[in-house]
Amino acid sequence: MRLIKLLALLVALLLLPGMAMAASGEQVVKQQVIVPSFDIWQHTNGTWQDTDNCGQPDYYGWKDKTYSKTFTLPEAVWKGKYELTRVEVAYPFIEEQFNASGRQENWEIFYKDFLRYIPANYSVTKTGENLAEGKVTTQWTFDLEPELLDLKDPTVRESLGMDEKDFSNMAQGWRWYLPVLITWYGVPVEPEPSVASGRYLFDGCFHDIPKEEGNKYTTYVIRAPMIGPIPVADEWPYVYKARLRVYLIGPYPAEKMMGVEISGVDLPSSGEFPKKVLFDSEVSFTKQNQAWVKKFVMPTPEDGFAYTIFVQDEGGLQADISNNTGVSCSVRNVNGIITWFTHTTSDVERMSYMLPWDFIKDKYGLSPVYQK
């Protein structure tokens, strides 16, 4: 029973605010020492201005004044390098933490310029965060006293780079500094490879001859970039992008059944035969997504007619949408006899070495098919 109570106490402590558990592989991404200032002014008529637009005059001597501000970690520090896991804010902090923040001045100068001018009863806490955007909101609590930096003093104004100005004896102006240590934590992520430039080779095939399924025929289209002597190397130096388009053409007269490679002359215009866009989008190929595989359907043609699945890609060396070249898979009906034609299938004698079949099999369950 005593052991159970101790374990329950440990869990409760871990759930306290500010005691978030570290993620596996977590490390410090960046430590920042940030020093906002808070000024108050009393005008000659005795009224105090509302410095932070809180709705109340910020007057000298206010106890437990609260002030909030949101800070953003520059994307260049973490975007694409780390997944941010938590952020903590703290005061006080020690010289070693200050040095790790990378501020240009040394600890002695920092103390002389800022730490001597902290308001009374000073504390800071975290009140909000958005790790996906690298944002944290802090809230300070302090008293608007004692009299430290007199903003009417010409010497102080000169040191702060403020303009010379004469003030009435009835006016008051005071400044305090609000130093805070912000520590960002994250887990390193594998950087995204850059997008390959120029034109590069794509290849692919139809997985097999069209398969009859009821009153329709189905086929799988496979496309993948060729990035070396073997299409899928151990390292992918880039993201490869292609614009893929897949059309269903037909029905059209069976005597015009399309051949091995369709040129701009052979491809029916939109007004000559029905042509429907089945897919038209940019596809990205990476080490985690090495091939594009999708199933398409053709209706069973009536006697004397045919259908064709026509595939184009823009970005490769061998296929270019601008001149309407591509690969096709067709079925036709002549006197009730269905015949088919496929430009390229996954025949093991021709295609096995050209495509990332290990990836295709693991993700889609497809393997090369030998055509007898």
What is residue 83's predicted lDDT score, i.e. its pLDDT? 95
What is residue 354's predicted lDDT score, i.e. its pLDDT? 67
Burial string for 141-170 (b: 16+ CB within 10 Å, else e) reads: ebbbbeeebebbeeeebeeeeeeeeebeee
Cα torsion 91, 97, 102, 107: sign: positive
pLDDT tens-digit readout, 39-77: 999 998 999 999 999 999 999 999 999 999 999 999 999
At residue 209's C-alpha, the angle toward residues 208 and 215, to 5°, is 120
Residue 142 above 90 pLDDT? Answer: yes
Residue 1 above 80 pLDDT? Answer: no
The residue among 246, 256, 260 whose CA lies nearest residue 292 is 246
Q: Name the band, by pLDDT with cuts 50, 70 and 90, for residue 107.
A: very high
156-165, 219-228, 315-324: range with lowest mean pLDDT? 315-324
Most confident of 192-196, 213-217, 309-313: 213-217
Contact call for residues 332 and 303 (beta carbons, < 8 A): no
Burial string for 32-52 (b: 16+ CB within 10 Å, else e) reads: bbeeeebebbbeeeeebeeee
The average pLDDT across 87-91 equals: 97
Q: Name the band, by pLDDT with cuts 50, 70 and 90, for residue 372.
A: low
pLDDT tens-digit readout, 4-48: 444 444 433 343 334 445 567 899 999 999 999 999 999 989 999
Q: What is the mean pLDDT of the chain?
A: 80
Q: Name the band, by pLDDT with cuts 50, 70 and 90, for residue 224.
A: confident
State the Cα torsion 308-309-313-314 to the nearest 10°.
50
pLDDT tens-digit readout, 327-350: 778 888 899 888 887 766 655 545
| Alpha-carbon span 115 to 340, nearest angstrom | 83
pLDDT tens-digit readout, 229-276: 444 445 566 777 888 888 888 888 888 765 434 434 345 454 577 888
What is residue 212's predicted lDDT score, i.e. its pLDDT? 85
What is residue 16's predicted lDDT score, i.e. its pLDDT? 39
Q: Name the band, by pLDDT with cuts 50, 70 and 90, for residue 326.
A: low
| Share above pLDDT 70 across residues of the chain, in percent, rounded to a whole number | 75
The average pLDDT across 87-107 equals: 94
pLDDT tens-digit readout, 273-305: 788 899 998 888 888 888 889 999 999 999 999
Residue 92 above 50 pLDDT? Answer: yes
| Alpha-carbon span 158 to 164, nearest angstrom | 8
What is residue 105's predicted lDDT score, i.e. its pLDDT? 94
What is residue 5's predicted lDDT score, i.e. its pLDDT? 42
What is residue 85's predicted lDDT score, i.e. its pLDDT? 96
Cα torsion 334, 338, 344, 349: sign: negative
Residue 187 above 80 pLDDT? Answer: yes
Residue 3 above 50 pLDDT? Answer: no
Residue 94 above 70 pLDDT? Answer: yes
| Share above pLDDT 90 across residues of the chain, in percent, rounded to a whole number | 44
